[in-house]
Chain A
Amino acid sequence: QSALTQPASVSGSPGQSITISCTGTSSDIGGYIYVSWYQQYPGKAPKLIIFDVSSRPSGVSRRISGSKSGNTASLTISGLQAEDEADYYCSSYSSGTTLVVFGGGTKLTVL
């Protein structure tokens, strides 16, 4: 069981926007701004797409954005494209015994 809770799947049509939630506790997401998101295609390594809640690494599409409210972080992808179909994982620094925690992952399907 993952420390952070994500929906198993979300879907959307091309051009639409989707949001993936990631719920933790005050020991991780709620207590810090150190939330990151990763995109993973089948058979490939994860790729960092958001860090520090809402910062994008160089080269990541501006259609991808992150936010946080309380113990829940969110990843939003606007103008959905076929290439966005992938698995998405959230992660956070934690003050608990496990210093880095991940969500269970969300499969995004572009209809």
Chain B
Amino acid sequence: HLQLQESGPGLLRPSETLSLTCTVSGDSITSGDFYWGWIRQPPGKGLEWIGNIYYGGSTYDNPSLKSRATLSVDTSKNQLSLKVKSVTAADSAVYYCARLGLEPTDWHFDIWGRGTLVTVSS
């Protein structure tokens, strides 16, 4: 069955670039039937959508990140990647990757990774 697993550095300094990977197992991200998304959750707070990407490269992102976020895919490794540049303490959160449907009408997240905690601190 489909599984998603996020991985990343854990601790970053302010102004550094956050780089996260989501490894997808149990299906190919190039199957073409799904978008893949990133969502984050600051400690004790709610969920925030970061963006969605299709394996062919089409992306949608949240303007609130002011273009600091970059989503990409590595089809050879069946992985998704998220980079967030110029991080601050406000970027500290659990970061999740998740699967969603192909059309905006199906943009609900039906499979989630376990999440990875990222802390930004000097």
Contacts and interface: CB of A to CB of B under 8 A. Distances in A.
Interface of A: 2, 34, 36, 38, 44-48, 51-52, 57, 89, 91, 93, 97-105
Contacts of A89: 46-47
A54 to B, nearest CB: 12
Interface string B109-122: 11011110000000
Contacts of B112: 45-47
Contacts of B110: 48, 51, 57
* Interface band, chain B: 20 to 34
A34 B48 CA distance: 17
Nearest to B114: A45
Nearest to B110: A48
B49 A98 contact: yes
B79 interface: no
Nearest to A45: B112
A99 to B, nearest CB: 5
Contact of B105 (A38, A44, A93, A100): A93
